[in-house]
A and B are shown apart, each in its own frame.
Chain A
C-alpha cells in the first residue's frame, strides 16, 4: 500500500511578506534585477524605504500643496491613466483645462469679452509657464528688431536678484542675458526705480514677482508699470512686463482685490501662477495667461491634428497625466471665490499667530511683511553663539522641516528661517511649532553647540602647554576634531552662500 501525501508544499505565495526571502535580499540599486518578485513584496519594500522620507505636511519649506479632499483624490486616481495630450480621445478633460484657463484669466482681469476665449495654457509648473512666457517675449522682440533692421542677438531680461531659480534656467537655456537688480538690507525685493534704469533696447521684458520666495513680499508692479510707461514714451522701445505670480496669483485676488498688479496695468502682457501652490492642487500644475492673442506669436504654436480636429498647442511637455488639471477644476468649482477667500484668510490669521508667538520669545527679528504670501521669515537678533542653520537642524528632531537661507546679493549677511503657512497648517500646529521653537531656543541658550566644544578643547590643550618651556605663552592648539569641524562649517557657509536657488 502506498500512502501518498496530499499536503502540498507551502508555496512561496503563502508566506507573509516579512517571512519571505524578499526582505533578505539586498535591494537592487544599480542594475535591473534579473527576476521578477511578487507585487506585495515590491510594494512593501518600496513603501518601507519611503517611510524615511520627510512628512510632506510637516515640510514647512514648501509652498506646494500637501493635502486635498478625499473626493478630489478619487477623481485624481480615476484620471491617472489619461494622457492629457490626447485631446481628441479625452475631449472633456481638454474642455476642463480650457475652462480653468478662462477662469484664471478673468480672475486676473484679462481684457476678454463675456464669451471670448482667453489665451493661456496649463503647464507642469511655473517653470514651464515662465519658459513659455519668456519664449513669447523673446520671439516678439526678435521679430520687432528684425523689422527695424537692428541686431537681435543679445536679448536680456531685467529682474530682481530675489528671483526663483527657474528664471536663471530660462536665461541660460534660451540664451537670454539676466540683468539682476541687487537687493539691499531691509529691501528684499526688486526696486522698480533701479529696474527701469537697467532697461535698454535689448530688454525683452521686465519680470516682477508677486510673492517673493524669500520673504513673501509683493513687488510694486503698479509703480513699475508707471515708471516703465514713462520710459517707453521717451525711448519708444515698448518694453513689456511679465508678472511671476507663482505664489501671489491665488492670494492677491482674494485678500487684496484693490491691489493693482495684473492685467489692469496696461504693460502687463503675461502672468504665470502655480496651481500647485495657493491654487491648492498637488504638485504638477501651473498656468500661464497672455493678455491677448497678439502677445503670443503664432509661429510658436503647433497645430496637432488628430482624426480631423485641430488643436493648437504651445507647451514644452507633451504626454503627461490629467489628474492635476481635473483637480484644479475641482477646486474652482468646489470652493468658488468665497471658498478660496476663506482659505487665504485662515492662512493669514495663522501666520499672524505664528509671528506673534515668535516675537514673544524676544530672540528674533521678523523679516517678512504682514501683506503678502502667508509666511513668516525671521532672523536671529544675536547670531554670535549660534545661528539659524543650527536652529533649523535642531527643529528637525521634532519632525519639523524649517529651512534656513542666506539672502542673495547684496544682503548675503542676513540669514533667515522661513515657515510657509499652507492651507493645512492649522492653528493647533502653529501653536505646537511655537512651543517647539521655544524648546529649541532654551536648549541653544543653555548649551550652545559651538562654543562649549571649543572651550572644552582649549582648556585641555592649555593645561598641556602650561608645563612647556614658554610657560608664559598659551598655545591654543586645535584638536584633531576641531580642524575638520571648522573646515566643514566654513565649507557649509560657502555652499550655503548660493541661496537663491530655492523653490
Chain B
C-alpha cells in the first residue's frame, strides 16, 4: 500500500504578505528586478518604507497644503488618469481651468470688462508661473529694444535678496542677470527705494514679493509702483513690475482688502500665486495672470490643433494630471470668498496664539510681523550656549519639523526658527507646540553647552594644579571641529534657497 502524501505545500499566492518570501528579499535599489511580485507585496513593502518619511501635517516648514476634504479627495482620485493637456478630449476640465483663471484674475482686480476673458494659465507651481512671466517680460523687452535699434543681449531683473530660489533658476536658465537688493538686519525684505535705484535700461522688470518666504512680510508694492512711475517718467524706459504673490495672493484679498498690491497699481503687469499654498490645494498647482493680452507676446503662444479645435497654450509642461486643477475649482466654489476669509482669519488667530505663547517663555525674539503670511519666525535671545539649529533638532524628537535658517546677505547674523500656520494647524496643535518648545528649552538648559563642559571637567583638578590646562578629549575635539565646520557650511550655504 502506498501512502501518498496529500498534504501539499500551500500555494505561495495564499501566504499573507508578511509570511511570504517577499519580505525576506532585499528591495531592488539600482537595477530593475528580473521578476514580478504580487501587488499586495509591492504595496506593503513600499508603504512600510514610506512610514519613515516625515508626517506631512507636522511639517511646519512648508506652506504647501497638507489636508483637503474627503469629497475633494474623491474628485482628485477620479481625475488622476486624465491627462490635462488633452483639451479636446476633456473639454470640461479645460473649462474648469479657464474658470479658475478668471476668478483669480477678478480677485486680483485685473482690468477686465464684464464678459472679457482673463489672460492667464494654470501651472505646476509658482516656479513654472514665474518662468512664464519672466519669459514674457524678456521677450517684450527684447522686441522693444530691437525696435529701438539698441542692444538686447544683457537683460536683468531687480529683486530683493530674499527671493525664493526659483527666481535664481529663472535667471540662470534663461540667461537674465539677477540684481539683488541686499537686506539689512532690521529690514528683511526688498527696499523699494534701493530697488528703483538699481533699475537701468536693461531691466526687464522689478519683482516684488507678497509674502517673503523667510518672515512672511509683504513688500511695499504700492511704494515701489509710485517710485517706479516717477523714474519711468524721467527715463522713458517703461519698466514694469511683477508681483510674486506665491503665498500672499490668497491671503491679502481676504485679510487686507484695502492693501493695494495687485493690478490696481498700473505698473503691475503679471502676478503669480501658488494654488498649493494658501489656495488650499495639494502640491502641484500654480497660477499666473497677466494684466491684459498685450502683456503676453503672441509669439510665445503655441497653437495646438486637435481634431479641428484650436487651443492656445503657453506652459513649460505638457502632459500632467488634472487633479489639482479640479481641486482648485472645488475650493473656489466650495469655500467662496467668505470661506477663504474664515480660513485665513483662523490661521491669523492661531498665529497670534503661538506668538503669544512663545513670547511668554521670555526666551525668544519674534522676527515676523503680525501682518503678512500667518507664520511665526523667532530667534533665541541668547544663543551662546545653544543655537536655533539645536532647538530644531530636538523638536524633531517630538515629531515636529520646525526648520532653522540664517538670513541672506547682509543679515547673515540673524538665525531664525520658522513655524508656518496652515489651514490644518489648529489651536490645540499650537498650544501643544508651545509646550513642546518649553520642554526642549528645559532640556537644552540642563545640557551643558560644549564650552562649559570642558571647564567643568577640569574644574576638579583646579586645586591640584596651578595651571588649568584644558585638555580636550578626542570626542570634544571632534565635536568642536564639527560645530565649526557646520557653522562654516551654514554661512556658505545659501539659506535663502528655501521653499
What is the CB-to-nearest-CB distance from A248 to chain B, in angstroms, rounded to a whole number? Answer: 16
Which residues of A have CB within 8 Å of B335? 36
Contact B33 A333 (CB under 8 A): yes
* Given the contacts A93-B50, A307-B389, A329-B46, A124 and B494 also touching, CB distance less than 8 Å: no
Number of B residues with CB within 8 Å of any CB on chain A: 128
The chain A residue sitting closest to B123, CB to CB, is A317
Which residues of B have CB within 8 Å of A324? 321
Q: How far is B36's CA from A339's CA once the two chains are assembled, in angstroms?
A: 5
Segment at the B interface, from A162-170, A232-240, A427-435, A469-477? A162-170
| Binary contact readout A436-475 vs B (1 if CB under 8 angstroms, 0 otherwise) | 0000000000000000000000000000000000000000
Contact B33 A332 (CB under 8 A): yes
Q: How far is B108's CA from A178's CA once the two chains are assembled, in angstroms?
A: 38
Which residues of A have CB within 8 Å of B67? 81
The chain A residue sitting closest to B43, CB to CB, is A71
* Given the contacts A165-B318, A318-B126, A333-B28, A282 and B81 also touching, CB distance less than 8 Å: yes
Contact B302 A334 (CB under 8 A): no
Give the residue of B53, B72, B93, B174 whose beta carbon is less than 8 angstroms from that of A90.
B53
Contact A308 B486 (CB under 8 A): yes
Segment at the B interface, from A72-80, A219-227, A351-359? A72-80
What is the CB-to-nearest-CB distance from A266 to chain B, in angstroms, rounded to a whole number? Answer: 22
What is the CB-to-nearest-CB distance from B27 to chain A, in angstroms, rounded to a whole number? Answer: 7
* Given the contacts A89-B59, A333-B45, A339-B36, A103 and B28 also touching, CB distance less than 8 Å: yes
Contact B39 A32 (CB under 8 A): no
Which residues of A have CB within 8 Å of B69? 39
The chain A residue sitting closest to B393, CB to CB, is A307
* Given the contacts A62-B89, A89-B61, A28 and B333 also touching, CB distance less than 8 Å: yes
Contact B316 A334 (CB under 8 A): no
| Binary contact readout B480-499 vs A (1 if CB under 8 angstroms, 0 otherwise) | 00000010011001110111
Q: How far is B153's CA from A489's CA once the two chains are assembled, in angstroms?
A: 45
Q: How far is B495's CA from A241's CA once the two chains are assembled, in angstroms?
A: 37
* Given the contacts A71-B40, A403-B306, A53 and B91 also touching, CB distance less than 8 Å: yes
Which residues of A have CB within 8 Å of B339? 35-36
Which residues of A have CB within 8 Å of B173? 135, 174, 300, 316
Which residues of A have CB within 8 Å of B323? 80
* Given the contacts A90-B53, A305-B495, A503-B318, A103 and B307 also touching, CB distance less than 8 Å: no
Q: How far is B320's CA from A264's CA once the two chains are assembled, in angstroms?
A: 31
| Binary contact readout B52-77 vs A (1 if CB under 8 angstroms, 0 otherwise) | 11101101011011111101111111
Contact A320 B495 (CB under 8 A): no
* Given the contacts A66-B81, A131-B316, A389 and B308 also touching, CB distance less than 8 Å: yes
Considering the complex, which residues of chain B in the window 296-318 have a beta carbon less than 8 Å from any beta carbon of chain A?
Answer: 299-300, 302-308, 310, 316-318
Of the candidates A80, A85, A135, A306, the one having the most CB atoms from chain B within 10 angstroms of its own CB is: A80
Contact A128 B316 (CB under 8 A): yes
- The answer to whether the Cβ of B360 comes within 8 Å of any Cβ in the partner chain is no
Which residues of A have CB within 8 Å of B403? 306-307
Considering the complex, which residues of chain A in the window 264-308 have a beta carbon less than 8 Å from any beta carbon of chain B?
Answer: 274, 276, 282-284, 299-300, 302-308
Q: How far is B380's CA from A201's CA once the two chains are assembled, in angstroms?
A: 59
Contact A80 B76 (CB under 8 A): yes
Contact A502 B304 (CB under 8 A): yes
What is the CB-to-nearest-CB distance from B198 to chain A, in angstroms, rounded to a whole number? Answer: 23
Segment at the A interface, from B98-106, B189-197, B369-377? B98-106
Of the candidates B31, B99, B403, the one having the most CB atoms from chain A within 10 angstroms of its own CB is: B31
Of the candidates B37, B86, B102, B299, the one having the most CB atoms from chain A within 10 angstroms of its own CB is: B86
Which residues of A have CB within 8 Å of B431? none
* Given the contacts A299-B172, A496-B308, A501-B305, A284 and B499 also touching, CB distance less than 8 Å: no
| Binary contact readout A329-352 vs B (1 if CB under 8 angstroms, 0 otherwise) | 110111111111010000000000
Contact B102 A30 (CB under 8 A): yes
Which residues of A have CB within 8 Å of B64? 83, 319
Q: How far is B332's CA from A27's CA once the two chains are assembled, in angstroms?
A: 11
Contact B66 A305 (CB under 8 A): no
Contact B34 A337 (CB under 8 A): yes
Give the residue of B31, B56, B96, B107 whose beta carbon is less than 8 angstroms from that of A81.
B56
Considering the complex, which residues of chain A in the window 71-129 have a beta carbon less than 8 Å from any beta carbon of chain B?
Answer: 71-86, 89-93, 96, 99, 102-103, 106-107, 114-115, 124-128
Give the residue of A28, A40, A165 whose beta carbon is less than 8 angstroms from that of B103.
A28
Contact A333 B284 (CB under 8 A): no
What is the CB-to-nearest-CB distance from B35 to chain A, in angstroms, rounded to a whole number? Answer: 5
Contact A34 B338 (CB under 8 A): yes
Contact B75 A43 (CB under 8 A): yes
Q: How far is B28's CA from A103's CA once the two chains are assembled, in angstroms?
A: 9
Of the candidates A91, A319, A401, the one having the most CB atoms from chain B within 10 angstroms of its own CB is: A319
Q: How far is B405's CA from A306's CA once the two chains are assembled, in angstroms?
A: 8
What is the CB-to-nearest-CB distance from A164 to chain B, in angstroms, rounded to a whole number? Answer: 8
- The answer to whether the Cβ of B125 comes within 8 Å of any Cβ in the partner chain is yes
Contact A334 B30 (CB under 8 A): no
Q: How far is B299's CA from A348's CA once the two chains are assembled, in angstroms?
A: 40
Which residues of B have CB within 8 Å of A306? 61, 403, 498
Which residues of A have CB within 8 Å of B68? 81
* Given the contacts A36-B334, A86-B499, A330-B43, A64 and B319 also touching, CB distance less than 8 Å: yes
Contact A333 B46 (CB under 8 A): yes
Contact A75 B46 (CB under 8 A): yes
Give the residue of B34, B47, B89, B135 whose beta carbon is less than 8 angstroms from that of A75.
B47
What is the CB-to-nearest-CB distance from A187 to chain B, in angstroms, rounded to a whole number? Answer: 24
- The answer to whether the Cβ of A45 comes within 8 Å of any Cβ in the partner chain is yes
Contact A33 B333 (CB under 8 A): yes
The chain B residue sitting closest to A334, CB to CB, is B42
* Given the contacts A59-B89, A74-B43, A330-B42, A404 and B307 also touching, CB distance less than 8 Å: yes
What is the CB-to-nearest-CB distance from B432 to chain A, in angstroms, rounded to a whole number? Answer: 19
- The answer to whether the Cβ of B454 comes within 8 Å of any Cβ in the partner chain is no
Which residues of B have CB within 8 Å of A84? 283
Contact A317 B334 (CB under 8 A): no
What is the CB-to-nearest-CB distance from A192 to chain B, in angstroms, rounded to a whole number? Answer: 26
- The answer to whether the Cβ of B1 comes within 8 Å of any Cβ in the partner chain is no
- The answer to whether the Cβ of B435 comes within 8 Å of any Cβ in the partner chain is no
What is the CB-to-nearest-CB distance from B306 to chain A, in angstroms, rounded to a whole number? Answer: 7
- The answer to whether the Cβ of B127 comes within 8 Å of any Cβ in the partner chain is yes
Segment at the A interface, from B162-170, B223-231, B461-469? B162-170
Which residues of B have CB within 8 Å of A127? 316-319
Contact B317 A317 (CB under 8 A): yes
What is the CB-to-nearest-CB distance from B91 to chain A, in angstroms, rounded to a whole number? Answer: 7
The chain A residue sitting closest to B54, CB to CB, is A89
Contact A316 B498 (CB under 8 A): no
Contact A389 B307 (CB under 8 A): yes
Contact A99 B39 (CB under 8 A): no
Which residues of A have CB within 8 Å of B497? 302-305
Give the residue of A32, A304, A498 whose beta carbon is less than 8 angstroms from that of B106.
A32
Give the residue of B50, B71, B169 whose beta carbon is less than 8 angstroms from that of A79.
B50
The chain B residue sitting closest to A401, CB to CB, is B89
Which residues of B have CB within 8 Å of A319? 64, 125-127, 274, 276, 283-284, 499
Which residues of B have CB within 8 Å of A166? 318
Can you list 24 contacts pairing A with B, beta carbon distance less than 8 Å?
Answer: A30-B115, A31-B103, A32-B336, A34-B336, A49-B92, A64-B83, A64-B319, A73-B77, A73-B80, A75-B47, A75-B50, A80-B76, A86-B62, A89-B54, A103-B32, A127-B317, A127-B318, A128-B317, A175-B175, A300-B172, A319-B499, A322-B283, A330-B42, A389-B307
A46-B96, A46-B330, A401-B89 given; 10 more Cβ-contact pairs under 8 Å: A42-B333, A50-B75, A56-B83, A61-B86, A74-B43, A92-B53, A93-B53, A276-B319, A305-B497, A307-B404
Top 7 closest pairs, chain A to chain B, by CB: A334-B42, A36-B339, A42-B334, A71-B43, A43-B71, A339-B36, A318-B127
